[in-house]
Each structure stands twice: as C-alpha cells, then as structure tokens.
Amino acid sequence: MTTAKNKTRQALKRIAFGIADFIFPRTCLVCGKINPKGVYRHLCGDCAKEISLCTVCRCLICGEILGGSDMPDINGCLKCMDMQIAYSQALCPTVFAGPIKRLVHAIKYSSAPYAAEDLATAAAFHPKTKDFLRNALVVPVPLYRLRRLKRGYNQAEVIARALAAKFPELNIETAHLLRRTRNTSTQTRLTREERIQNIRGAFEITPEAANIRKDAPIVIFDDVMTTAATANECAKTLRKAGFKNLRVFAIAKRL
Ligand SMILES: [Zn+2]
Ligand SMILES: [Zn+2]
C-alpha cells in the first residue's frame, strides 16, 4: 500500500517537473545553456564535468588535500594540528570551486534554495558521503536570527534537507540543537587565528537539545569549510552540553 502510494507520488512528481520544465526550460546556472535532461537540474553536462571531488589523500579533521589518491587519509595536518578539535572526523566531499561555488553562491546570494538539490547530488558522488551520513542526526550550523530572516532560510539546513529528501534510505534527521548568540562579522577575509577568535562563544544550546540522547550520532552540517573554526566551535558547544558522538560534514572545502 505504502509502495503503491510512493509510486503514485513519484509519478505525479515527474509529471509536475515535466510541466514545469516545459514552461520554464531548465538552464545551466554556470553557462546559461538550456539543459533539458541530465543528472543535475541546474548544471549542464559540460559544466558538471568541472566538479572536483575530494577523493585524494586528505586531512580527516580539516579536509585539507595533502597528496595523491594512492596515499591514505591523515588524522590532522599542519593546518589544524594546533587547534583543540572537539569532533572526531570531518568529511568535505567536494572542492569549493567552479560549479560547486556557483551553486553555493546561488543559494546564499541569489535566493535560489532549489540549487541545494544539485549540491546533494554532487556530494553523493563522493564514495564516503552516504556511509558518513547514514542514520545521522544532522545539526545545521545556525545563522544569526537577523541574517536568517534577511535570507529567508539557512543554507546549511536547506542543503541538509535536500540530501535527506533525495536519499530517504539514509534515514537522515535534522535537529536544531544550536543557536547563534551574536552576529559575527563575515569570516571570508580573516586569517585562521582571527576566525577562531571571531567565532569563539558564538553558539549556545537550544532547549530542543534536552530531548536528545547524549550518545546520538551527531553530524554538524555546513555549506563550506575553510579552517574548520566554525564547525569546531559548534562541536565545542555541543560537547560542553554532554554530547559525545560528534562529526562534521561540509558540502565543499575551500582550499
Ligand atoms: Zn553549463
Ligand atoms: Zn588538517
């Protein structure tokens, strides 16, 4: 019965998308070419080929790429070794460049949350993404209240929900266990030290956290990871509240 219902729902969805594609032909967000079919809804096949996955030797803490594909991943590197890391492991499936950068910017600055579906698709091409997120309690890195109001949504949450919806078999749940206590200035132009200082004490636990088991498999979820300072501050806040099983996932690593 449920399967029949699901099949009907999927068929209706396909028809609805078909009509929408006919009225508003899908275009590639990078090159503008009409893109009627393909794995991605908002990238053409040529632009999708430019996506780089982080599948070579990388740091399991900050996502830094360190060597070729024939070398094993490393637990900590020169860039993150002096940070007090409060989570066990991180995964950034893609490199923040080319089409991935364009999709993230479309969500953040061009009111295009629908681009999240393509980021979910790209992330799932990394061989470790699905196992990393399976049965996880995903905690999106929160935005400050006013910034969220201005944008209308939190991009990290939108991407996490797109992954959960696209891959229901992964049983991903999202929870709002963190709140941002102040409006931190943008981290983009800061050095690593400045980023750590800028974000210190910027999060607190929400009342929702009281209902969650302390050993729940939490994945702190963000759109882009640069130095891991923001994700680590989230992890520190959760750890102080007693949560023990903490990992970090960011769609893209800024190299
Ligand atoms: Zn294109
Ligand atoms: Zn590192």
Q: Report the amino acid identity of residue 30.
A: V
**Tens-digit pLDDT profile for residues 81-115:** 989 999 999 999 999 999 999 999 999 999 999 99
> Lowest-confidence range among 17-21, 195-199, 201-205?
17-21
Ligand 2 centre from 203 Cα, in Å?
23
Neighbours of ion ligand 1 (CB under 5 A): 28, 30-31, 33, 44, 47
Ligand 2 centre from 227 Cα, in Å?
8
CA angle (124, 129, 135) in 5-degree steps: 110
> Which ligand is in closest contact with the Cα of 73?
2
27 CB burial (10 A radius; 0-12, 13-18, 19+): middle
Ligand 1 centre from 113 Cα, in Å?
19
* H/E element, 204: strand 203-205
Question: 145-151: long-range contacts (C-beta < 8 A, 24 or more apart)?
Answer: 145/180, 146/183, 147/183, 151/108, 151/111
> Which ligand is in closest contact with the Cα of 64?
2
- Average pLDDT over every residue of 48-53: 96
Domain ranges of the chain: 1-49, 52-253
Please state the pTM of the whole predicted model: 0.89
- What class, spelled out in words, does domain 52-253 have in CATH? alpha beta
Ligand 2 centre from 73 Cα, in Å?
10
Whether 94 and 253 have beta carbons less than 8 Å apart is answered as: yes
